[in-house]
């Protein structure tokens, strides 16, 4: 019999069983899930990009500024 895998909750660090019936995984609770969502909404969490990345992505979509 295999042991149930566990991960640490990204918000509080509590151990969380990684099973299909755990609707909050990887979080330990709905509260920790909402705390994490709030951190993304207030831009405490960000995905790092280079300052010019947006310019490179969209540079061909618009006419150059004069």
- Which tens digits make up the pLDDT trace of 9-47? 999 999 999 999 999 999 999 999 999 999 999 988 888
pLDDT of residue 37: 95
pLDDT of residue 60: 61
Give dist(CA 40, CA 38) in Å, integer: 5
Nearest to 25 by CA among 47, 3, 44, 9: 9
Q: What is the DSSP letter of 64?
A: P
* Domains of the chain and CATH, by start: 6-58 (3.30.50.10)
Max intra-chain CA distance, the chain: 69
**Where do we find the tokens 């920790």?**
32
Query: Which residues carry a binding-site annotation?
Result: 9, 12, 28, 32
pLDDT of residue 56: 62
pLDDT of residue 17: 94
pTM > 0.85:
no
User: How many residues does the structure list for the chain?
Assistant: 66
Query: Which residues carry a binding-site annotation for Zn(2+)?
Result: 9, 12, 28, 32
């Amino acid at each position: 019999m295999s042991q149930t895998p566990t991960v640490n909750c990204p918000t509080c660090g509590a151990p969380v069983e990684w099973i299909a019936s755990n609707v909050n995984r990887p979080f330990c609770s709905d509260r920790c899930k909402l705390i994490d969502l709030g951190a993304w909404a207030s831009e405490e969490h960000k995905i790092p990009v280079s300052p010019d990345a947006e310019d490179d992505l969209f540079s061909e979509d618009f006419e150059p500024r004069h």
